[in-house]
Amino acid sequence: MPVKVNSIEMRVFENKFKTDDMHPDYSQKNVDVKGEDMDVSVWKNVAKNGSEYLNIKVVPAYKSKEEAAKSKKQGQQDDLPF
């Protein structure tokens, strides 16, 4: 039976490497969300009416090709019946 989560807390930090408006203002890598590693990005925005708001994007954590291959290989080994 899945665990029902009512809230998720996380911390994001200022993006000190931001060089373009497309880069997030705040970010955090590998946040544990319901057992999954996720990357969080936050942009500060201003609506047409002048109201400030935050745009938040949560996506599966980035894995390099080597990490993805290692995870896939490990998963294949775990499926053996003996």
In this predicted structure, what is the pLDDT of residue 76? 59
Q: For 31-81, how does the pLDDT look when each residue is reduced to its tens digit (9 = 90+)?
A: 888 888 999 999 999 999 999 999 999 999 988 777 767 766 666 565 556
Q: Encode the chain in three state secondary structure.
A: CCCCCCCCCCCCEECCCCCCCCCCCEEEEEEEECCEEEEEEEEEEECCCCCEEEEEEEEECCCCHHHHHHHHHHHHHHCCCC
pTM: 0.68
